């Protein structure tokens, strides 16, 4: 699945979801992102889209996230959503090349941050498998140069992945959604350590988190 399709599918679902949100619901906190609301997540996604189209990307990721939200803090959810709806299709056409997968991963991650806050199901098995493959592929390129032992990741509803060289010293077995969420820092270290591991996971835990980990347990 190309990045542009992952991005466009998630955007369409989120725009449809936003149409039914009132002001109180839009202000609901995101358990996976303390300090951000549902509207803030939409603001970030609209801001990332605008920044890429306007050539403003390339900032440190933490600063990029907070700035996109701050720039839209005083705008309504309807205004933020309209911006993303208008500009999003133009970004679809840009999503090719080695680095573009990160925008597909980002929108998938924030879609589920929003769904988690609203207690909605996660109807994205195809996109979830794509995210896991992309993130693990990226981690796999840098893993051999780290001091972490090799690890086998068995996805119960997907494929098996090995990070590192040689016989894996530790192994994890979990479903794709759990793996995708933990890779993006939407699980606490305590939650990840309690998963179905063979061997001692401590030497690899910090290497698996692209962001995070979460300070508190995240149930979605």
* pLDDT tens digits, one per residue of 73-109: 999 999 999 999 999 999 998 887 556 899 999 999 9
Within 10 angstroms of residue 93's Cβ, the number of other Cβ atoms is 8
The pLDDT of residue 62: 58
Q: Which CATH superfamily is domain 3-118 in?
A: dinb family like domain (1.20.120.450)
The pLDDT of residue 175: 97
CATH 3.30.1050.10 applies to domain 125-208:
yes
Domain spans of the chain, in order of start: 3-118, 125-208
CA-wise closest residue to 134 among 89, 84, 98 = 98
The pLDDT of residue 96: 73
Whole-number Å distance between alpha carbons of 11 and 140: 28
Q: What's the half-sphere exposure (Cβ side, CA atoms, 13 Å) at 101? A: 14
Report pTM.
Answer: 0.93
Helix (H), strand (E) at residue 8? helix 3-18
Whole-number Å distance between alpha carbons of 176 and 68: 29
DSSP 150: P
The pLDDT of residue 20: 96
Instruction: Tell me the per-residue pLDDT of 42-66, one tens digit each, with 9 for 90 and over.
Output: 999 999 999 999 987 655 555 677 8
The pLDDT of residue 97: 59
Domains 3-118 and 125-208 share a fold: no
CA-wise closest residue to 168 among 152, 156, 153 = 152
Peptide bond into 213 cis (omega under 30): yes
């Amino acid at each position: 699945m190309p990045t542009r399709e992952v991005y466009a599918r998630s955007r369409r679902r989120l725009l449809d979801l936003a149409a039914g949100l009132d002001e109180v619901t839009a202000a609901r906190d995101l358990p996976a992102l303390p300090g951000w609301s549902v509207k803030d997540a939409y603001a970030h996604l609209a801001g990332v889209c605008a920044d890429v189209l306007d050539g403003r990307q390339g900032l440190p990721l933490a600063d990029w996230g907070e700035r996109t939200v701050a720039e839209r803090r005083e705008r309504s959810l309807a205004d933020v959503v309209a911006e993303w709806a208008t500009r999003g299709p133009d970004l679809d056409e840009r999503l090719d090349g080695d680095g573009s997968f990160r925008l597909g991963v980002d929108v998938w991650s924030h879609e589920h941050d929003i769904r988690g806050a609203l207690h909605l199901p996660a109807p994205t098995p195809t996109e979830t498998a794509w995210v896991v493959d992309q993130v693990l592929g990226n981690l796999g390129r840098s893993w051999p140069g780290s001091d972490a032992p090799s690890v086998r990741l068995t996805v119960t509803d997907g494929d098996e992945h090995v990070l590192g060289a040689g016989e894996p010293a530790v192994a994890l077995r979990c479903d794709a959604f759990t793996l995708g969420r933990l890779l993006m820092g939407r699980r606490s270290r305590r939650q990840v350590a309690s998963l179905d591991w063979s061997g001692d996971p401590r030497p690899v835990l910090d290497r698996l988190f692209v962001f995070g980990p979460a300070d508190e347990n995240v149930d979605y």
